[in-house]
């Protein structure tokens, strides 16, 4: 039996399915993965510099300009066939590391964003202020209207803790699932990637769909493009 047929069987017999996705899910929408994002003008920077509180402290204008570049790219992107298939299959709970909102734009209802969302800014001093922004015309560096500290993208940077409530809900979701479908993630960014082991400990089966092999232990691994494979797995 082929891997796709076996995966479809696992999916049709599962009662609670969760997905865990990363940048590879959005690659075919034209959103670069972390590795590919650092091309062109940005190739000379280190991601740890661009996506870290230390980098923001050193050069806030540069960091905001990098995010605004990514925001404009996202504004002109659309969900791909993988997002659409995930949204169309009702009852799935999606845990994503992606800071884009392409799953929601495809119509997905239950999406947990472990690393925040790029379409909002928040106060860097954490006074509680946040606002959604127009990603097609994002504003530059500016002060928090509530406390005067700087505003920054409402995403989780290297070295920062994950939002506690979202993390707890994600752990609950993968522990309650009997099947976890892992899509487009290298599985090396922790603690997020730890959810795959957590799902296995909760005795879920694991299907991986990724462009290259990843280290995670899985029941079925399908190497290929998300937009090609995921619709084949989730269509009725």
Q: Name the residues annotated as catalytic.
A: 115
Q: Is 211 in the site for ligand NAD (CB under 6 A)?
A: yes
Q: Is 108 in the site for ligand NAD (CB under 6 A)?
A: no
Q: How far apart are CA 207 and CA 183, in angstroms?
A: 8
Q: Is 68 in the site for ligand NAD (CB under 6 A)?
A: no
Q: Is 184 in the site for ligand NAD (CB under 6 A)?
A: yes
Q: Which pair of structure tokens corresponds to residue 10?
A: 């696992």
Looking at 31, 87, 108, 173, which residue binds ligand NAD (CB under 6 A)?
31
Provide, rounded to whole angstroms, the least separation between the CB of residue 59 and ligand NAD: 20
Cβ–Cβ < 8 Å for 106, 231: no
Q: Is 186 in the site for ligand NAD (CB under 6 A)?
A: yes
Q: Is the dihedral of CA 80, 40, 67, 113 positive or negative?
A: positive
> What are the phi and psi torsion angles at 226 (to 5°)?
-60, -45
Q: How far apart are CA 16 and CA 89, in angstroms?
A: 12
Looking at 7, 19, 26, 204, which residue binds ligand NAD (CB under 6 A)?
26
Q: Is 196 in the site for ligand NAD (CB under 6 A)?
A: no
Q: Is 27 in the site for ligand NAD (CB under 6 A)?
A: yes
Provide, rounded to whole angstroms, the least separation between the CB of residue 156 and ligand NAD: 7
Looking at 19, 68, 98, 216, which residue binds ligand NAD (CB under 6 A)?
98
Encode the chain in three state secondary structure.
CCHHHHHHHHHHHCCCEEEEECCHHHHCCCCCCHHHHCCHHHHHCCHHHHCCHHHHHHCHHHHHHHHHHHHHHHHCCCCCHHHHHHHHCCCCEEEECCCCCHHHHCCCCCEEECCEEEEEEEECCCCCCEEECCCCCCCCCCECCCCCCEEEEEECCCCCCCCHHHHHHHHHHHHHCCEEEEECCCCCCCCCCHHHHHHHHCCCEEEEEECCCCCCCCCEEEECCHHHHHHHHHCC
Residue number, 13 or 134, with CB nearest to ligand NAD: 134
Instruction: Kindly determine how many residues on this chain lie close enough to bind ligand NAD according to the rule CB under 6 A.
Output: 26
Provide, rounded to whole angstroms, the least separation between the CB of residue 227 and ligand NAD: 6
Q: Is 212 in the site for ligand NAD (CB under 6 A)?
A: yes
Q: Is 138 in the site for ligand NAD (CB under 6 A)?
A: no
Q: Which stretch binds ligand NAD (CB under 6 A): 10-18, 93-101, 103-111, 170-178?
A: 93-101
Residue number, 90 or 164, with CB nearest to ligand NAD: 164
Q: Is 195 in the site for ligand NAD (CB under 6 A)?
A: no
The contact set with ligand NAD (CB under 6 A) reads: 22-24, 26-28, 31, 33-35, 37, 97-100, 115, 184-186, 189, 210-212, 214, 225-226
């Amino acid at each position: 039996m082929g891997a796709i047929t076996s995966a479809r069987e696992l999916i049709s017999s599962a009662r609670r399915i969760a997905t865990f996705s990363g940048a590879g899910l959005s690659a075919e929408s034209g959103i670069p993965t972390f590795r590919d994002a650092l091309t062109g003008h940005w190739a000379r920077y280190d991601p740890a510099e661009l996506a870290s509180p230390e980098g923001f402290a050193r050069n806030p204008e540069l960091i905001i300009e990098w995010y605004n570049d990514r925001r404009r790219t996202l504004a002109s992107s659309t969900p791909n066939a993988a997002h659409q298939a995930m949204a169309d299959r009702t009852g799935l709970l999606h845990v994503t590391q992606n800071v884009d909102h392409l799953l929601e734009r495809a119509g997905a209802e239950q999406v947990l964003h472990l690393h925040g969302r790029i379409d909002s800014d928040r106060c860097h001093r954490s006074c509680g202020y946040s606002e959604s922004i127009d990603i097609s015309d994002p504003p530059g560096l500016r002060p928090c209207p509530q406390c005067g500290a700087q505003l920054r993208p409402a995403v989780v940077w290297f070295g920062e803790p994950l939002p506690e409530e979202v993390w707890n809900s994600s752990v609950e979701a993968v522990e309650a699932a009997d099947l976890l479908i892992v899509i487009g993630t290298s599985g090396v960014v922790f603690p997020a990637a730890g959810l795959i082991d957590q799902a296995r400990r909760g005795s879920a089966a694991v299907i991986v769909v990724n462009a290259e092999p990843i280290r995670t232990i899985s029941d079925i691994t399908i190497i290929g493009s998300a937009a090609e494979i995921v619709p084949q797995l989730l269509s009725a």
